[in-house]
Structure 1
């Protein structure tokens, strides 16, 4: 059953989270009208628009040109050197020299360009495509030396060439420094540079000008590979185009085009497109949240009364359901136009109910789960799974509610806790708005603060309304309910006080003793106190038959048959349960009244009956089992502790002048007697806990009866008036009667 309940919790969490995390599926076809308006369930990428934007970015990318250094000044220097060598050879005629110039000068240029291309190709500095582009452009923009220049070259003397070389190299170097895609744009500057040079001879200036124009080339060329890379990077750097959450993808009645169909298909919005991974993810998240709750309950320090109670697990699931429904109800009205509405969700109601009805540590674990769910359910931001604001708001208000209400002893404490939740919730929202004020105007801020404050009050109202329902439906005894039952004006307690004041005083003392003992071992001390107040309520039917109510009157048991006395004594437990049912007291209180005696043995009346049978000379027609309480034995620690405290209080009260040793011996004897009689076999009291109970009862008795207890070690044990040490059992005639 426990596993089934946790499986139900997983389903509940899945159903709660799925609408926010899983997109709705649509049954549509191309060229058919859409039966409903299809909205973007989340921020999704528009593939077609993104591709278009990428292509536009690529087209907008300008061609890439790469500048290179051809060292053109070396070409003109080598040409002048060659001219100088040819001119120095007197064996060659002028016409032959001119012919050699026509052949050697272009060869020097082409060889230089070819060497550059080969070395660049081998080194891998430039791609083959780029080098081919360089060769092509240089050849296309080639300058042709005039015939007049070839004719003038033989006239140059070695001195002329020596003067021309540095000037020509400097001019070409300076002009080739600036990037140029067209050689002609640079060549037009040659004349000006030559005119302002230091060359004195006209022929020198004319030849340098012509040679410089010849060797000058473009030095910046179109790089196809770099251009392609730039376009690729432009595509990659283009931001995707998104359709915002809530935008209309397909209007109602719109004919579905192939483009629309593809968009819906790519984003998993078609029913015929099977993609289970989102469902698996949401299911896994739900399982993790439920397992976290389950493991916290399974911890050794978890409350024992909760760990094995499936009824309380069912109540926990119902609290989760109520809390999740409250979030979803606000989520229906919550949107990006009214972002403050989410703060109105009474998210603290779950933590408050779990604290009051179940366990404080469990409430902290549940608060963390509530905060995770709230951050998903109340999220309105596009492209986000969690909303930090609402998650933190839920966590803080839940923790504040637990801290404020975990020691609640009155219904008014719930209202005080609600005010604390409202105050700290509004304070947190104010802090968050101050940290990030974008999108918050004065009106929105006031609404957010007001709704955050109202959230705590709304949670308080819900807790007030739900507490009685849970207490009645699941038989839960909350601390508030227990405190209410201690009110002396309760009809049963008033009846006990007015009709059996001795029993009333005895019940109050038992309550003090049992509460201290229960708290010492981690049991429910308040339940023990309240159970003690009502455990002997059945004595009000025949008050005179119990010794604490006789007040010096004759004992009626001295005049009736011991079997009848036994029946009257035993009946008070059953009568008490019936009276409590009549007044609709919770079952745990009734159980204590029914189980506090267990199946203990009425020694006095049994032996009295044996004596009468012996005097009458007849065989006893009864056994020891006939003089036992019908039980059942104590089923809980609280019932067992109340039973021990009941016997201890009655035994101490029967002593005339109790001593410390007497009290200690008496408590040990009572516990050992019940232990030997197997009265604790059906509850989970351990031997160590029994030792703690005994020690605590001793200390408490010393405190309560301090003025009556004698402390000297040499005081003898007081004997009863029959000369025998009385068995300190709650049902002996000197005690229970």
Structure 2
């Protein structure tokens, strides 16, 4: 197999390996995985588990309530207890006993004044008249009760029963004493009897006997002097006194009904235990399980459909944002895979915290490091994606940590997650040291604590213990987030070849072994690399490229020169130029090899691929003009022309803005340094000539630099070079010419 065939096969193999990075199918698969992640992360809260269980069987698991339902039995018990506590209602009726006493005395006067009746006749009349008067009196009372409350038969019956059962029976011997009473005796007795009856009937009397026992005492203190008069007044008062307080069953039943209606339902809350492990399932418990759709015989597919649609909405929102984004993640499946992995880690952390959450320890949900995901996304991918992810994580938190079940989302956890996630994005945006992550964690703790205090005070249902626990968990969450991000950063940087700002700052440390080697063995190249770093960083930032990557990439772009330092003019000091004594082809091979040697050295030190790409691509496929024309000059007359391809760098051309900018800065720095006392016009002409030559040579065809950006880069390089060389610039016209060795330096 010849070399061309091997290169072709290697190219196809490389394409197959790298094709997944931009494959639409892989991209859709990753978004589908995100949808599955959302579905299964929320399924435990939104889709109840079902059990194969029968009444009378022993439960093999402890089963918890998945939603809040009314406990009908306990509610009924509470209602009956409330009704039982209601005391019987009594009605106090105006009995008008004074009118009865007046009627009695009127009859006594009338009958005693009738001289045609004998004493025995009068006694017989009295035996009949007194019950009749009592019957007439109670009959009128019943009529008035029926008229005032026709539907209250219970009260009427209660009154009838009480008046009948408590009617006073006048002793037989008293009837023989009534005829002896004179008109004067009756006139003296009547006011006393009225007064006694009135005073005793002012009290509430469910039982008349208690009042009748007090009659003798009141009569004996009256102005009556005759014993017979006192005795008759006592008997008449006892006869007239009746109960006036009667149990009103209708009113009692009404108040008990109101008490039952006013009793709050007893609920089985979400998370309450329905049946313990090893406990027998009663009929009542079985009905509750059926009500909550926890039985396999009654599968409810609506929650699954709802969760599928919700997960789809989450994925669709993220997909549309990524699709409209100008970030490279819209076409780079490697970054999308990293995003999916960050989501997996963040949601896993949230679920782990949720395992310890229950009704007694609901506040532990505040400990979840929700902001870990947004902080990693902000550092490794970009701020816009981090903001969108903050919203998604907030929605997920409000569902995952919602254990009350009254509503789908618990706004407290959603609000906290949104606050800490957005805080993490703003706090980490200019992080350039690991300590910056810790400071961001402290900011997360502070803002999260403020959010929790605000929600707690607004809820107005809290205890000092709850406040302290919520505050402590929130503060701990911020610190835990920082620790996890610091621990996970190296994993993502190594696994995905990510050059985060923190990693780039570490690589720019002069104590790095390769930079120490560059400084000690090739001080000229080291100084050249530092200058290129300054130029490329300024140029990159002017067009929105990664300036820090350009700076660090510039530090390592010529590391391959340490293999043969003396063959590069910046390291020759006072020694002669070795290229003056060797063939142009050999010189070309040595010069070209520094890019390949640099990539190999960077690989040996496990340097990230973007740094290796800059070292490999900063020359692209440019022509080594000095050695090419030298070879043509040394070529015998009539020989076949030397093709330019033999004196070009092997490439590849710059694949990114950063590689192209470093290449421009490399050529500009070498060219301007070769000028003796450069003027402003010389610098501007040199910069634009180098950019134009590379543009005409097709060196920018494989990166996305625009002509407008190239013009901006030229202006920025001019300004930066003017700052570097201002003390040595002479403004007169061009003076010096390039020496023969300058082309080697530009190489």
Aligned with residue 357 of structure 2, among 322, 334, 342: 334
> How much has 1:448 moved relative to structure 2?
5.2
Aligned with residue 38 of structure 2, among 2, 10, 13: 13
Q: Would you say 1:577 and 2:606 are equivalent positions?
A: no
Q: In 2, Cα distance between the equivalents of 1:577 and 1:45? A: 68
Is this contact kept in 1: 2:83–2:256, CA < 8 A?
no
Q: Would you say 1:514 and 2:514 are equivalent positions?
A: no
Q: In 2, Cα distance between the equivalents of 1:722 and 1:409? A: 42
> How much has 1:40 moved relative to structure 2?
2.7
Within 5 A, what are the aligned runs for 1:611-690? 611-613=633-635, 615-620=636-641, 622-623=643-644, 625-690=645-710
Q: In 2, Cα distance between the equivalents of 1:535 and 1:452? A: 44
Is this contact kept in 2: 1:499–1:540, CA < 8 A?
yes
Taking structure 1 as reference, are residues 439 and 477 closer, same or farther at Cα in structure 2, changes over 3 Å only? Answer: closer
Q: Would you say 1:39 and 2:55 are equivalent positions?
A: no
> Which stretch shifts more, 38-47 or 310-319?
38-47
Taking structure 1 as reference, are residues 602 and 458 closer, same or farther at Cα in structure 2, changes over 3 Å only? Answer: closer
Is this contact kept in 2: 1:521–1:692, CA < 8 A?
yes
Q: In 2, Cα distance between the equivalents of 1:558 and 1:268? A: 91
Q: In 1, Cα distance between the equivalents of 2:464 and 2:706? A: 57
Taking structure 1 as reference, are residues 709 and 296 closer, same or farther at Cα in structure 2, changes over 3 Å only? Answer: farther
Q: In 2, Cα distance between the equivalents of 1:416 and 1:721? A: 55
Taking structure 1 as reference, are residues 255 and 381 closer, same or farther at Cα in structure 2, changes over 3 Å only? Answer: closer
> How much has 1:474 moved relative to structure 2?
0.9
For residues 361-391 of structure 1, give each alpha carbon's deviation from its aligned partner in whole angstroms, at most 9, with x where no partner exists: 3333323333333333334446354444444
> How much has 1:480 moved relative to structure 2?
1.4
SS in 2 for 1:733: helix
> How much has 1:634 moved relative to structure 2?
0.9
Taking structure 1 as reference, are residues 720 and 541 closer, same or farther at Cα in structure 2, changes over 3 Å only? Answer: farther
Report the counterpart of residue 743 of structure 2 in structure 1.
733
Q: Would you say 1:376 and 2:392 are equivalent positions?
A: no
> How much has 1:528 moved relative to structure 2?
0.3
Is this contact kept in 2: 1:26–1:269, CA < 8 A?
yes
> Which stretch shifts more, 476-485 or 547-556?
547-556
Report the counterpart of residue 290 of structure 1 in structure 2.
315
SS in 2 for 1:523: coil
Taking structure 1 as reference, are residues 587 and 6 closer, same or farther at Cα in structure 2, changes over 3 Å only? Answer: same
SS in 1 for 2:599: helix
SS in 2 for 1:705: helix
Runs of 4+ in 1 over 6 A off after TM superposition: 57-62, 227-234, 433-440
Aligned with residue 545 of structure 1, among 542, 548, 567: 567
For residues 7-59 of structure 1, give each alpha carbon's deviation from its aligned partner in whole angstroms, at most 9, with x where no partner exists: 2122112222221232221111244333x244333443246427746985998
Structure 2 residue runs without a partner (length 5+): 1-25, 90-150, 152-247
Within 5 A, what are the aligned runs for 1:360-509? 360-381=383-404, 383=406, 385-411=408-434, 413-414=435-436, 416-417=438-439, 420-421=442-443, 424=446, 427-428=449-450, 431=453, 432=456, 445=469, 449=472, 452-453=475-476, 456-457=479-480, 459-460=482-483, 462-509=484-531
Taking structure 1 as reference, are residues 535 and 642 closer, same or farther at Cα in structure 2, changes over 3 Å only? Answer: same
Report the counterpart of residue 272 of structure 2 in structure 1.
246
Q: In 2, Cα distance between the equivalents of 1:458 and 1:692? A: 41
Is this contact kept in 1: 2:71–2:265, CA < 8 A?
no
Q: In 2, Cα distance between the equivalents of 1:492 and 1:587? A: 16
Q: In 2, Cα distance between the equivalents of 1:607 and 1:720? A: 21
Q: In 1, Cα distance between the equivalents of 2:437 and 2:716? A: 36
Q: In 1, Cα distance between the equivalents of 2:420 and 2:71? A: 43
SS in 1 for 2:51: coil
Is this contact kept in 2: 1:547–1:736, CA < 8 A?
no
Structure 1 residue runs without a partner (length 5+): 66-126, 128-221
SS in 2 for 1:509: helix
Q: In 2, Cα distance between the equivalents of 1:366 and 1:380? A: 23
* TM-score where L is the length of structure 2: 0.69
Taking structure 1 as reference, are residues 299 and 584 closer, same or farther at Cα in structure 2, changes over 3 Å only? Answer: same
Report the counterpart of residue 274 of structure 1 in structure 2.
299
Q: In 2, Cα distance between the equivalents of 1:611 and 1:324? A: 69
> How much has 1:244 moved relative to structure 2?
5.6
SS in 1 for 2:727: coil
Report the counterpart of residue 81 of structure 1 in structure 2.
none
SS in 2 for 1:248: strand
Aligned with residue 532 of structure 1, among 554, 566, 570: 554
Report the counterpart of residue 127 of structure 2 in structure 1.
none
Aligned with residue 734 of structure 2, among 698, 712, 718: 718
Q: Would you say 1:347 and 2:374 are equivalent positions?
A: no
Q: Between Structure 1 and Structure 2, how many residues are aligned?
A: 700
> How much has 1:513 moved relative to structure 2?
0.7
Aligned with residue 726 of structure 2, among 706, 711, 717: 706
